[in-house]
Amino acid sequence: MRVAEQRTQRAVDAIHSLSNCASRVCYDYTPEQVEQIIAALEAEVRRLQSAFTGENRFTLRP
């Protein structure tokens, strides 16, 4: 529980820090770059969900 809470908080903090890059005053980026960032994060969240639901396990059973 303790490890999961700490790691979750670090992930949330990192995402919050990344959202600071949305400031057009400080940073320049294209819509395509934004899509790449979001796609990478969404892919990792899908992997996380699969890990917790056991969807990554191989089986020959239907």
The pLDDT value recorded for residue 60 is: 79
Q: Is the pLDDT of residue 58 over 80?
A: no
pLDDT digit string, tens, across residues 11-40: 999 999 999 999 999 999 999 999 999 999
At 51, list the tokens: 């890990």
| Cα gap 21→15, rounded to integer Å | 10
What pLDDT does 19 receive? Answer: 96
Q: What predicted TM-score, i.e. pTM, was given to this entire model?
A: 0.79
